[in-house]
Amino acid sequence: MFRSVVPRAAPRALLRPVSQSTFCAPNLYFQGRLRRGYASEAEEKDLVIIGGGVAGYVAAIKAGQAGLKVACIEKRGSLGGTCLNVGCIPSKSLLNNSHLYHTILHDTKARGIEVGDVTLNLGAMMKAKETSVSGLTKGIEFLFKKNNVEYIKGTGAFKDEHTVAVNLVEGGETEVRGKNIFIATGSEATPFPGLTIDEEKVITSTGAIALKEVPKKMIVIGGGIIGLEMGSVWSRLGAEVTVVEYLGQIGGPGMDNEIAKLTQKLLTKQGMKFKLNTKVMGGDVSTSSVAINVEAAKGGKEESLDADVVLVAIGRRPYTAGLGLENIGLETDERGRLIIDQEFRTKIPHIRSIGDVTFGPMLAHKAEEEAVAAIEYLIKGYGHVNYGAIPSVMYTHPEVAWVGQNEQELKAADVKYKTGSFPFSANSRAKTNLDTEGIVKFLADAKTDRILGIHIVGPNAGEMIAEGVLALEYGASSEDVARTSHAHPTLSEAFKEAAMATYDKAIHY
């Protein structure tokens, strides 16, 4: 059966073998391929992957390691997809360096560090970002060569169930056939009706990492992770940032309500402004600035907001444009996602789909887990992804991270639970670092003490959440974590003490 939802954990089941076919390409283009270094049509690949983002390139490397003949098609001209080229990696470079700039401007005197004039060289900051990106993309190309993965630079579309036609980046066309095909084409920013994206005045996250100057005013439509991270960058660099969010809390529905309120309070202290429960009605970009019309989500008086730049960050949607799905009879659901079974197979068994283009959270690490599992299904007949233990991280300062269920979800499901928390203000390492804002919060089953969710806002939350993911993966109780020795003095002691507060009492608070 093909389902419209992915299970929280794919069962370890044996699979049926996939079908095979053969193909022989014309000699003429084969000679051109030898000259230009593209994929050979003379042999059928064990696996063809459409998309060289995290899902695609990880699957390609894993398959190459297993000895399969693999071709990976990527139209961008560089591997890594949105995440590496215009998403996760460049945004983290800007988040880190803008935080350093903001710290030097506002947070050195109490540390005994006196500085003179501090100026921003935005061009150099952008160059540092680009250096990080180019180094990592070249690293993936090296891994492709190391594992005998054929890299085809071009746009792929299905010709039939085993053949992908490719428009090559450098011109010309080719075809590649595969016994198995993975669709890993990722996602794109969801547009906002009535606002035309030009990546200069009305931008997506792609434009937000490439602005040539700091805007005086920026409006962010959408208070999710992408909007808050990018808004945070430009706020630190001097922009007046206003976040407009339709819901009553920031961070999206996955963020725990208590954590969301605390995070909003901390970001407000840093200078960001928020308009929650607010609906954007439209916008006008006819002048040098952008005017946005908003009103209360439940209706009310309309208000106009002006900005130099408007960032549209209302989410992402699966990308399947030009893929030729109609040529093989594959359809998408109402949200544009490819429908798969628990083994990532579409209704055509030898064609699988992984990553953002199908179900589940649009996170790079989720895509990576699916890539590994899908290859294991292909070559071993079993694989595993625990969708109940996929962490989320927001790389603002302080960072926000969580895994498992939040408090509002447990209440809605009528689950009996207990909770415990510990503030970083009572943690010795945080106090010595002069970085004490935030808490660690545990949610555990009221009867069994099994951990149901962990939520952190504070320094190093993105790294600390890994311990929480491991705890959920192995079914740990809060007492298990509390009785595990954590080095002193470390920020992770706040994690241990929050676990202690859940099953008994914390020591240092």
Strand pairing of 45-50 and 173-183? parallel
Tokens, residue 380: 């071993």
> What are 322's two structure tokens?
């030009």
Number of C-beta neighbours around residue 308 at 10 A: 18
CA distances from 182 to 47, 322, 357 (A): 7, 16, 11
Helix ranges (H only) for 270-415 are 364-380, 407-412
Which residues fall in the annotated binding site for NAD(+)? Answer: 222-229, 245, 315
Catalytic residue among 106, 384, 488, 508: 488
Packing angle, helices 493-503 and 461-473, rounded to 10: 50
Greatest CA separation for the chain: 76
Task: Quote the CA–CA distance of 341 and 222 in Å, as a whole number.
Answer: 32
The number of beta carbons lying within 10 Å of the beta carbon of residue 44 is 20
Whether the CB-CB separation of 360 and 368 falls below 8 Å is answered with no
Do residues 305 and 219 make contact, with C-beta atoms less than 8 angstroms apart? yes
Give the tokens for residue 137.
Answer: 């993309």
- Torsion on CA atoms 57, 61, 63, 68, rounded to nearest 10: 110
Determine whether 96 is exposed, middle or buried from the number of CB atoms within 10 Å of its CB (0-12, 13-18, 19+). Answer: middle
Q: CA 170 to CA 32: how far, in whole Å?
A: 12
Q: At what angle do helices 122-146 and 88-106 cross, to 10 degrees?
A: 150
Instruction: Summarize the annotated binding site as residue ranges.
Output: 92, 156, 185-187, 222-229, 245, 315, 356, 362-365
CA distance 317 to 315: 7
Is 102 noted as a catalytic residue in this protein? no
Q: What is the 3-state secondary structure (H, E, C) of 120-146?
A: CCHHHHHHHHHHHHHHHHHHHHHHHHH
The closest of 13, 78, 65, 36 to 375, measured between CA atoms, is: 65
Q: How many CB atoms lie within 10 A of CB 265?
A: 12
- As annotated, the binding site for FAD includes 92, 156, 185-187, 356, 362-365
Query: Given phi > 0 = left and psi -120 to 50 = alpha, else beta, which region is 336?
Result: left
Give the SS3 label for residue 34: helix
Bridge partners (DSSP) of residue 89 are none
Query: How distant, in Å, are the alpha carbons of 97, 186, 343, 374 from that of 318?
Result: 31, 6, 19, 19
The amino acid occupying position 378 is L
Point out the residues that are catalytic. Answer: 488
